[in-house]
Structure 1
Amino acid sequence: TLSANHTHALLQTLCHCFDFTGKFLPPVYILVFITGMVANGLGLRSVLQKWEKLGNVSVFIFNLGLADILYLLTLPFLMVYYFKGDQWIFGEAFCKTTRFFFNLNLYGSIGFLTCISVYRYLAIVHPMRMMGRITVTHSVAISVMVWLLVSVQSLPDMFVPKSPINNTKKCFDTTSEKYIEDYLKYSLGWTLTGFCIPLFITLSCYGHMIAVLCHNDNIDEVLKQRSLKLLFILILLFSVCYIPYHILKNLNLLSRLSVIKGTCHKWSNGVYIGHQISRGLVCLNSALNPLVYLHVSEDVCSQLRQLLQQARQAVTSLYTSNLTDT
């Protein structure tokens, strides 16, 4: 057993030769926390102010912002974890809670973006048939269903150990080596239901919608432009945040399983680094989701410009006063 453990440890060292995670993720978390809190705060305020004007879609946008803020509030604890050299000081229960909120944000965001896409599709392709049939009550009921489905998908992850045996100072985003094989099966099923199916629904909606927009000259130009903007935002979110994360997460789990079975592939280290980069990119969704607010409310743009102008004036004033004092 000692020899097997020694061989496993040596293979891990060879496959993951340096601490890329501790150097890469903390700066990303700091950037996402600051940007995300400001953008989501302004965006949610704008949505609440224009609730009636935005209609049913405002319910989905509000829930999207709520999912972002729930995750952003956990980032300071993860920053401490990585700054302390992968030493988790907040207890195992809170480790699992932190990872649970990450999953709620990730799959909640995908779910609500899918709902917004379906809503936009119905408004453009079937405007007369849907007029007056979808109420705020329906939107609230659908939102509750999304939260329930995401929670059911994420709940099994809460019962998986997030640290090695007899070492509660770690807080893995997946699980320890002992449970990798079962976790890989769970992760593949989770990817199918939580990501692939919503992606297929979203692509189907926009594929049909673009065909209708291109062949129908009676549709309002502003509506066309808004729909194309939302499509661009969704392409950005899926291609930058969601697709790389799901591919590399499962490949990394497969690589770790291979190490346990005594094989170190040439691509293992590249997959490990790629997975850590994808973890940074996927958390960017909390900072990029407010782009959806820009799509539905022009007020956020003006508020962001005003905020940047005030910050620039404050810095200029401080610099001028320092020069005067000297």
Structure 2
Amino acid sequence: MNTTSCKEVSFDFTGRFLPPVYILVFTIGLVANGWGLKSLLQNWKKMGNVNVFVLNLGFADILYLLTLPFLVVYYFMKSKWIFGHAFCKITRFCFNLNLYGSIGFLTCISVYRYLAIVHPMKVMGRLTLTHSVVISITVWFLVTVQSLPDMFYTKTLNNSSRCFDTTSSIYVEDYLKYSLGRTFTAFCIPFLILLGCYGHVIFVLCRGKTIDKVLKQRCLKLLFILILLFSVCYIPYHLFKNLNLWSRVLSKHKICHQWYNGVYIAHQISRGLVCLNSALNPLVYLHGNEEIRAQLRRLLHHMFNRPLTTTSRSVPITQIINA
């Protein structure tokens, strides 16, 4: 440890890594979410309770994806922000809305699946479309309230053209406290709820001999999608973001460690991974909606000119809730 001066962290990696990731996510995410939302809106009258959350999930993704071209320009110009102070804050705010909105709506979907499998008779006919709409509005409200304080932190400096994803070193100590609080309320609590729901669901599915095999498979597929999203996108991001903020606080006080640069690079990789959620979330569309799966099969048949195989049509879990 050196208490006199700290070695400069290399910022070159960010400019090389993030733009290609953002371009890939923007292309795949816009096409996948646009197609998924179009399919959901075309079948609005058939929309079940869970699909209300899926629809909001798609809107959250589109909101963030539309900001990616500006970030690509920013990093291609070697971290030179040319779009103004206000739009810098809006861009970062949209990222937070997407991130924590996605976590919130995935949690809602998980709770509804849990109720449909573990307590089907208790919730049958009691959870209406109105309940889903009210819950969705509540999620947006909570996410907005949790993300608004981020708008009051400095994102640009007069002598710098950068657009910080967190804040400048002047306010980094306060921002670390805010980041830890938001990590606990907006990530850890939903994650624990999700683990509790699916832990109980797996227990019920393993013990229940009369439960339909198709229902088990669909539930396990959704569980796999959520594990993929949290393991790849959300957990590394929150871990390395707070570690990177902590390293900046220590550096500010001239407390230096060799791992600072490694943590910074890991944080930038996690930033690339977390934006993948906007491209991976459409897997929830594909899993939860039979109409979309049928459209995909027809599309693949048209593209590759292969005969469609007949598959048994399973009853969606949403019908259990809506019955």
TM-score normalised by the chain length of structure 2: 0.89
Distance in 1 separating the partners of 2:74 and 2:301: 35
Distance in 2 separating the partners of 1:304 and 1:287: 16
CA separation of 1:264 and 1:41: change in aligned 2, threshold 3 A:
same
Aligned to 2:54: 61
CA offsets 1:86-112 (integer angstroms, 9 cap, x no match): 111110100000000000000000000
Aligned to 1:204: 196
Q: Give, as a single letter, the amino acid of the residue that structure 2 aligns with 1:234.
A: L
CA separation of 1:135 and 1:168: change in aligned 2, threshold 3 A:
farther
Q: Which has the higher helix share?
A: 1
After TM superposition, list the pairs within 5 Å mapping 1:73-92 onto structure 2: 73-92=66-85
1:188 matched to 2:177 = no
2:81 aligned counterpart, secondary structure:
coil
Aligned to 2:29: 36
Distance in 1 separating the partners of 2:304 and 2:156: 45
1:223, distance to aligned residue in structure 2 (A):
1.4
Identify which range, 300-309 or 220-229, moves more after superposition.
Answer: 300-309
1:146 aligned counterpart, secondary structure:
helix
CA offsets 1:260-315 (integer angstroms, 9 cap, x no match): 110221111110000000000000000000000111124445555666787899xx
CA separation of 1:302 and 1:168: change in aligned 2, threshold 3 A:
farther
Distance in 2 separating the partners of 1:306 and 1:214: 34
Aligned to 1:118: 111
Q: Give, as a single letter, the amino acid of the residue that structure 1 aligns with 2:96.
A: N
Aligned to 1:323: none
CA separation of 1:304 and 1:266: change in aligned 2, threshold 3 A:
farther
1:20 matched to 2:13 = yes
CA offsets 1:25-73 (integer angstroms, 9 cap, x no match): 0000000000000000111122223344451001000000000000000
1:160, distance to aligned residue in structure 2 (A):
0.4
1:161 matched to 2:140 = no
Distance in 1 separating the partners of 2:156 and 2:296: 41
The correspondence for 2:264, drawn from 253, 259, 272, is 272
CA separation of 1:167 and 1:312: change in aligned 2, threshold 3 A:
farther
1:17, distance to aligned residue in structure 2 (A):
2.5
1:86 aligned counterpart, secondary structure:
coil
Distance in 1 separating the partners of 2:72 and 2:297: 29
2:110 aligned counterpart, secondary structure:
helix
TM-score normalised by the chain length of structure 1: 0.88
1:218, distance to aligned residue in structure 2 (A):
1.6
CA separation of 1:258 and 1:220: change in aligned 2, threshold 3 A:
same
Q: Give, as a single letter, the amino acid of the residue that structure 2 aligns with 1:281.
A: L
CA offsets 1:133-177 (integer angstroms, 9 cap, x no match): 10000000000000000000000000100123x235210000000
Aligned to 2:308: none
After TM superposition, list the pairs within 5 Å mapping 1:258-269 onto structure 2: 258-269=250-261
1:45 matched to 2:38 = yes
Aligned to 1:285: 277
Q: Any gaps of 5 or more consecutive residues in structure 1?
A: 1-6, 314-326
1:295 aligned counterpart, secondary structure:
helix
CA contact (8 A) 1:40 1:65 kept: yes
Distance in 2 separating the partners of 1:33 and 1:310: 25
Aligned to 1:170: 162
Identify which range, 62-71 or 221-230, moves more after superposition.
Answer: 221-230
CA contact (8 A) 1:54 1:296 kept: no
1:129, distance to aligned residue in structure 2 (A):
0.4
The correspondence for 1:296, drawn from 288, 291, 315, is 288
Aligned to 1:128: 121
CA separation of 1:54 and 1:227: change in aligned 2, threshold 3 A:
farther
Distance in 1 separating the partners of 2:59 and 2:282: 11
The correspondence for 1:249, drawn from 225, 241, 245, is 241
Q: Any gaps of 5 or more consecutive residues in structure 2?
A: 306-323
